[in-house]
Amino acid sequence: MYKKILIPIFAIVFVACNNSSNKETETTADTSNKTTTEDTTHNMTAMTTSVPELPAVPDGARVFFKNLKNNETVSSPVKVKMGVDKMKVDTTGPVVAASGHFHIFIDAEDSLASGVIVPKDSTHLHYGKAQTEADVPLTPGKHKLTLQFADGLHRSYGSRLATTINVNVKK
Ligand SMILES: [Cu+2]
Predicted confidence pLDDT, tens digits, the chain (171 residues): 444 444 443 333 333 333 333 333 333 334 444 444 444 444 444 555 678 999 999 999 999 999 999 999 999 999 999 999 999 999 999 999 999 999 999 999 999 999 999 999 999 999 999 999 999 999 999 999 999 999 999 999 999 999 999 999 999
Instruction: Look at residues 88, 81, 85 and name the one whose alpha carbon lies nearest to residue 63.
Output: 85
Query: For ligand 1, a single-atom ion, which residues have Cβ within 5 Å?
Result: 126, 154
Nearby residues of 32 by Cβ (< 8 Å), 6 or more positions away: 22, 26
Give me ligand 1 centre to Cα 106, in Å.
14
User: Domain 62-169 in CATH: superfamily?
Assistant: Immunoglobulins (2.60.40.10)
Nearby residues of 14 by Cβ (< 8 Å), 6 or more positions away: none
The domain limits of the chain are 2-49, 62-169
pTM: 0.72
Give me ligand 1 centre to Cα 31, in Å.
43
> How many other C-beta atoms can be found within 10 angstroms of the C-beta atom of residue 131?
15
